[in-house]
Amino acid sequence: MTRRAVVLACGALGAAAIGMRAATAAPFFDSPAIAEYKRRLAEYEEAHGAFEAEASAYWSEISAKRRERNAKRRDRIPLAADDYVLTQPPVYDGPKRPVNPNPELVPEKPPRPPKYIPVVADFLSAAQAHFQFVPQRPSKEAEFKRAYVRTALAEGLTRDQIVRVYAFETGGNGAYTMQSGFASGRADAHAISTAVGYNQLLTTNTVELLAEKGEHFVHVLTEKARTLAGAERKALEHKIAVLKRMVALCRSVPDEWNEHEKIANTEQGWGVHAMVLDIDVGPLLQTHKLLTSVLFARERGVTRPLTAAELEMMNLTGDGTGLDMVTMPQALRERVPTANFFQRGGYERNPVAVRHNTVARLFAVMNARMDGAQGAAGVKDMASLF
């Protein structure tokens, strides 16, 4: 090794050693602000750690009770108060996490960039690109409402279910193109999910419905095509061919939500979701989003018509979870916390379930929201179609 190489190597080793000593010694040279931050951070971590231990135990019990209820339900064993956790989730009331005064000295993990949420324009573009399809759109909103009401009644939904669920899901004035996050009409509004339409179907809902009900949808459109001629029939036959391709895609994976979600998160899945905007297929999708819950309850012994709030509860929480609340006696609804029907993350992100923290309160606020929207123009238009 040359003299110059030796000098450079020693210099590098010396710099590394100085860096190591500096890193080791850093705590002894903290500014007062950094020292105070670290003290408060330690207090926060101790308090929050104790809360996390308590919360983990609570949510583990919630999960265990849910598994026990599912097993009993499969065996047709009636449920009672002991099958639920009857206390509310623990709430953190310790010190807040302190703000780092100098992130360069005490680096923190950078926040993860938000996932892009596709919007209606993306769905339409994907449908054109992957299926060479443009949904047939109504010339005015009333046409889509009329098609939806006609389809929903023919498939077995009631006036109360149709109108009140629409009122709840859209706030009373939602268009068939309305996407979750844009209802406020504010200039800075942005999509918060892929939910679109009167009953707010997610991309995964659309994929799942086409996988499970696609043959029925094709049959309905085929019967309609028999009544048409000329250009109208040719256009509908093209739509049927596209629908069959979409159904085949949605059925290319096992009939499971997670598998359907994988398709829904692709551009092909976005293209499938454009069908919610089509005046022939859209009303079928919107209707069967609710009808699957009605049939699920009926198959499990609920022969009376579900109220709109009960149907919406199943729509929001999933059929199995929703049915648990629907079949619960009123006295028990007053006692059982809503936390029993959520995973922890879903519960903590749901301010309605947190504020209205028993089953009875959750039904009450749902009915109140439906009642409050009855004067909205969209609800009046929908109701007038009956």
Domain boundaries, the chain: 48-90, 120-384
> How many Cβ atoms sit within 10 Å of the Cβ of residue 185?
7
Low-confidence ranges of the chain (pLDDT < 50): 1-28
Cβ atoms 236, 280 nearer than 8 A: yes
- Which amino acid belongs to residue 5? A
Pick the closest to residue 100 from 89, 112, 108, 92 (CA basis): 108
Look at residue 21 in the predicted model and tell me its pLDDT.
Answer: 39
Which residues contact residue 69 at a Cβ distance below 8 angstroms, ignoring those fewer than 6 apart? 79, 83, 84, 324
- Which amino acid belongs to residue 54? E
As a whole number of angstroms, the longest Cα–Cα distance in the chain is: 96
Angle at 16 between CA 14 and CA 17, to 5 degrees: 65
Look at residue 231 in the predicted model and tell me its pLDDT.
Answer: 96
| Cα 215 from Cα 220, distance rounded (Å) | 9
Q: What are phi and psi of 337, to 5 degrees?
A: -65, 145
Helix 359-372 × helix 159-170 angle, to 10°: 90
Which residues contact residue 243 at a Cβ distance below 8 angstroms, ignoring those fewer than 6 apart? 210, 214, 217, 218, 221, 275, 281
Cβ atoms 311, 326 nearer than 8 A: no
Tokens matching residue 95 = 């010190």
Tokens matching residue 250 = 């949605």
Specify the CATH class of 120-384 in words. mainly alpha
Q: How far apart are the first and last CA of the chain?
A: 94
Say what the alpha-carbon torsion angle 317, 150, 163, 165 is, to the nearest 10 degrees: 10
| Cα 282 from Cα 209, distance rounded (Å) | 11
What sign for the dihedral angle of Cα 217, 222, 223, 229?
A: positive
Query: Which of the 8 DSSP states describes residue 196?
Result: B
Pick the closest to residue 206 from 159, 249, 239 (CA basis): 249
Which residues contact residue 22 at a Cβ distance below 8 angstroms, ignoring those fewer than 6 apart? none
Instruction: Output the pTM of the full model.
Output: 0.81
Angle at 249 between CA 243 and CA 251, to 5 degrees: 100
Helices and strands of the chain, counted as H and E runs: 17, 0
Tokens matching residue 338 = 């809503």
Collapsing DSSP to helix, strand or coil, 358 comes out as: strand
Angle at 278 between CA 184 and CA 248, to 5 degrees: 120
Look at residue 318 in the predicted model and tell me its pLDDT.
Answer: 86
Look at residue 20 in the predicted model and tell me its pLDDT.
Answer: 41
